[in-house]
Amino acid sequence: MNKKQKKMLKRIIVASILFIIIKVVKLPEYIEIPLFLVAYLEIGYDILLKAFKGIRNRQVFDENFLMAVATVGAIGLKSFDEATAVMLFYQIGEWFQSYAVGKSRKNITELMDIRPDYANVEDENGNLEQVDPDEVEIGTIIVVKPGEKVAIDGIVVEGSSTLNTAALTGESLPREVSENDEVISGCINMTGLLKIKTTKEFGESTVSKILDLVENASSKKSRSEAFISRFARIYTPAVCYSALALFLLPPVFNLIMSNPADFGTWLYRALTFLVISCPCALVISIPLSFFAGIGGASNQGVLVKGSNYLEALASCKYVVFDKTGTMTQGVFEVAGIHHANIPEEKLLEYAAMAESYSTHPISKSLLKAYGNTIDKSRIENVEEISGHGVKAVIDGVQVLAGNDKLMKMYNIPYQECHSIGTIVHVAIDGKYAGHIVISDMLKPHAKEAIEALKKAGIKQTVMLTGDVRSVADKVASELHIDKVYSELLPQDKVNKVEELLSLKHSKENLAFVGDGINDAPVLSRADIGIAMGALGSDAAIEAADIVLMDDDPLKISKAIKIAKKCIHIVYENIYFAIGVKLICLLLGAIGIANMWVAIFADVGVMIIAVLNAIRALNVKNL
């Protein structure tokens, strides 16, 4: 509890003790009434003050005004116990609401406790000095000891270790890092000492951007929140005027009909009407539901930029995927060696050595598959032939490594390959030696992700890719994706998404899932843009509405389930709060409901709605 909550709790306890003593002990009226007033003022002076300030600032119609008018009116009718009880229970409800919101904020802060307090920097004597991360410049060497957080994004220049990325991704799987590996802020160093050369300022680092994103998510209101805000602005003055009408019209009608006016009875009913009508349950619980939903999602490694996107995701019926880096790992690997007329190891060695000077992903995959250090002294006369491949002399023999165009250029008969992937043909001294198949590997949970989406209520899954049709069809078939469009340029992807948007129902939403780097135009065009965050890539965080921090496509269905649960809770609270209030307002108007019913309709409903809203935090087992 903070100081304000502790102070209010003391006031509640003092007022409650006074109230109980007055109700239990039989006291003379001249003592009882002053004690009730003391209890009333002890618990309600701040409400009266806020109501007065509201009237003075011409912002009259709020819950403080309703409580002040209702309780002062009750005192005027000499219902001192009811006036005190209404104010007491209202403040108990407000305190509970404040405590619950604070608790949920604390939970979310703990879940996202990734902000480092300091960075270790070596001084001139080699001693470590703890400095504010904001003061560390780009290019500074920081030291991260085991158990400490990585303060700023950078590259490892010395040491190797295991990093715990759970706070960023929601996954407990550790990540191994060593020299020349990139690391991002917010991870926890688990084992070895690391020296990291910073590549960004703290304000631009991953941890700062993530925290800023989560903290500012509440500024982007959903349609439900906007509706409740507009509703409260119209509703509160409407019930005030209704209460005034309830107080004046029936007595006037009675006077016209020559019956007793009975102003006291109708004033009591009007005051009860005001207490019942307080819109606290809606105004508090709806934003809290979204806040809790966004917090629960962030704990699972799903960053949602605003409650409007969470609401849109709950209505998502179509999911469109990019292929490379989204459903596949974007890492090319040797998948097979075919038709080799020399030992396969030797064929791979020749290809890797010929490609060793290239930075192309295909070259890197050959070098990785070869696995040995390249002896550059064995390689001579390397010539890269654009769009075809490489020619080189290795150990005195001419080696050609490339596509079928390279084989045709040198009139070398080659063997067609029917496998899906990139084919690297190899010829030695003008004779065909075989070919190597290189494929982009599917992500471990890609197939499971599509199945989970269909179970979550997605009508159609679509894949868009710039790859050739054979590769795209094979991936779509393996993953059981409904539709696939291949050989698309970036602008073609935008056009295709616009076409899909035009075919869907207006109340259904379409999400596009991409890597956030090459797909920014499509991400922004879709109803919801979901980016594979690549452990916090800047482009992903900037381009998308929702970011999956661990690149796992299975998290898409998780995000949809979180959104649906959150919206379900929101509508539960709306229907429950409005339903109970309407019933109690009707009962109050006809004289069946008294102030005690009014207290339940206000405070009781608010407490139930807040407790229900906090359920949105619990998303682990969805």
> Which residues are known to be catalytic?
322
Tokens, residue 79: 């219902």
Cα(591)–Cα(22) distance, rounded to whole angstroms?
Answer: 27
Quote the radius of gyration of the chain (alpha carbons, Å).
34
Cα(395)–Cα(428) distance, rounded to whole angstroms?
Answer: 11
Identify the helix (H) or strand (E) that includes residue 439.
strand 431-442
**Contact criterion met (CB below 8 Å) for 84 and 36:** yes
User: Residues near 427 by Cβ (< 8 Å), separated by ≥ 6?
Assistant: 399, 400, 407, 410, 412, 414, 433
**Contact criterion met (CB below 8 Å) for 564 and 556:** no
Identify the helix (H) or strand (E) that includes residue 177.
strand 175-177
* Number of separate helices (H) and strands (E) present in the chain: 21, 22
**Contact criterion met (CB below 8 Å) for 540 and 532:** yes
Q: Pairing between strand 316-322 and 509-514? A: parallel
**What region, left, alpha or beta, does residue 469 occupy, with left being phi > 0 and alpha being psi -120 to 50 degrees?**
alpha
Other C-beta atoms lying within 10 Å of the C-beta of residue 8: 20
Strand order in the sheet with 161-164: 175-177, 161-164, 188-189
Angle 108-232-2 from CA coordinates, rounded to 5°:
35
Tokens, residue 246: 């309830």
DSSP character string of 145-161: -TTPBP-S-EEEEE--E
DSSP summary character for residue 533: -
Angle 134-164-449 from CA coordinates, rounded to 5°:
115
User: Residues near 476 by Cβ (< 8 Å), separated by ≥ 6?
Assistant: 463, 483, 484
Q: 36, 145, 32, 156: which is closest to 88 by C-alpha?
A: 36
DSSP character string of 95-135: HHHHHHHHHHHHHHHHHT----S-EEEE-TTS-EEEE-GGG
